[in-house]
Amino acid sequence: MLRTALLAAGRSRACRAAVERAPVTRELVARYVAGSTLEEALGAVEALAADREVTLDHLGEDVTDAARARATVDVYTRLLAELARTGLAARAEVSVKLSAVGRLLPRDGEKIALDNARRICAAAAEAGTAVTLDMEDHTAVDATLGILAALRADFPSTGAVLQAYLRRTEADCRDLSGAGSRVRLCKGAYDEPESVAYRDRREVDRSYVRCLRILMRGTGYPMVATHDPRLVAIAGRLAEDAGRGPADYEHQMLYGVRDREQRRLAAEGRRMRVYVPYGDEWYGYFMRRLAERPANVAFFARSLLSRG
C-alpha cells in the first residue's frame, strides 16, 4: 500500500513541489544522488574507482519535448568525452533511460529515442566504454527491447535490464542469454499490476533465481543488480555451478546503498559496479528509492512532522 502510494506520488506534480520544498529532503537525496554537476559525478566515480566500477546515470525521465531529449544526448556526450579524457572510461559505463531521450514524444517517439540512443552509443564506443538501457515500467518493455536489438547490430556491447517481477522475464532472459549479451537483472522498481507482474515479494525472489539461473547457464554476461543478501549469495553459487569465474559476471548496487557490502564483495575479488545517478531531476528516482525502504519513509515522515 505504502509502496504504491509513494510510487504514485513519484508521478504527481503537487507531491513533487511539497517533497522538493521539505528541508529533510536534501539530506536524504544526498544519500542516493552523487550531486547535480558533471564535476560532482566525476568526483564520485574517482572515489569509487579504486575498488569498484561504475555506471553513471544522468537523472531525468518522461521527457515530452524533443529539445530536452536532444539536450540529454549532449549531456551524455560531454560526460563520455570527460570519462575518456580523465582515463575513467575504463572503470565506467553509462545507463540511459529511453524516456529521457524521446521515447514518449507524441510523434515518432520510438524512432527519435533510437536515433538519440545511437548517438550516445557512438560516443560511448569512441570513449572505449558502453551503454546499458535502463528498464522503465512494463508498457516500455517491448519498445526498449526492440531498440536494444537495433542498437546491438552496431554496438553489440549495449546492455539490457530485465525485471524479475514481470511474468514475461524468464522468456526474455532466454532470448537474451546468448553470446555477447549483457543483461542486468533487477527485481523491478515500478508499481505493476498483478496481470503482468508478481506482487508477492517471495514470488519475485523466486522469479529472480529462475531468471538468474537462465542467465548464468547462458553464454552472455549477467549483471546481478540486487542488494538482497540471499540473492547475492545465490548468485555466487549459481555462477560456480555454471563454471563461471569472477570475470564472467558482475554484481551491481546503487550509490548510497549497502556500501560496506559493496566493498566486501570487491575485496573478495568479485566485480562490483555501482549505479551512480547525478543531475537535478532526482525526484522520480528518489521516490522509487523511498518506496523500496520503509525505514526511509518513517524517517522522512517524522522529520516533516517535527518541523511543523
Ligand X SMILES: Cc1cc2nc3c(=O)[nH]c(=O)nc-3n(C[C@H](O)[C@H](O)[C@H](O)COP(=O)(O)OP(=O)(O)OC[C@H]3O[C@@H](n4cnc5c(N)ncnc54)[C@H](O)[C@@H]3O)c2cc1C
Out of 57, 134, 172, 205, the active site residue is: 134
Pairing of strands 131-133, 160-163: unpaired
Q: Does 163 bind ligand X (CB under 6 A)?
A: yes
Cβ-based nearer residue to ligand X, 114 or 253? 253
Please tell me the distance from the alpha carbon of residue 147 to that of residue 134, in angstroms, as a whole number.
12
User: Could you give the string, one character per residue 283-302, with x where binding to ligand X holds by CB under 6 A and - elsewhere?
Assistant: ------x--xx---------
Q: Does 227 bind ligand X (CB under 6 A)?
A: yes
Please tell me the distance from the alpha carbon of residue 68 to that of residue 274, in angstroms, as a whole number.
26
Q: Does 169 bind ligand X (CB under 6 A)?
A: no
Known active-site residue 134 = yes
Among 7, 92, 214, 253, binds ligand X (CB under 6 A): 253
Cβ-based nearer residue to ligand X, 66 or 288? 288
Q: Does 275 bind ligand X (CB under 6 A)?
A: yes
Cβ-based nearer residue to ligand X, 85 or 237? 237
Out of 182, 184, 273, 289, the active site residue is: 184
Count of residues near ligand X by CB under 6 A: 23
For residue 73, give the H/E element and its range.
helix 66-85
Least distance (Å) between residue 58 CB and ligand X: 14
Please tell me the distance from the alpha carbon of residue 239 to that of residue 249, in angstroms, as a whole number.
8
Question: Per 3-state DSSP, what percentage of the chain is helix, strand, and coil (rounded to 5)?
Answer: 55, 15, 30
Reference 227, options 203, 209, 251, 199; nearest CA is 251
Cβ-based nearer residue to ligand X, 128 or 229? 229
Q: Tell me if 115 sits within 8 A of 295, measured CB to CB.
A: no
Please tell me the distance from the alpha carbon of residue 157 to that of residue 202, in angstroms, as a whole number.
32
Question: By the criterion CB under 6 A, which residues form the site for ligand X?
Answer: 134-135, 161, 163, 184, 186-190, 225-228, 252-254, 257-258, 275, 289, 292-293
Active-site residue list: 134, 184
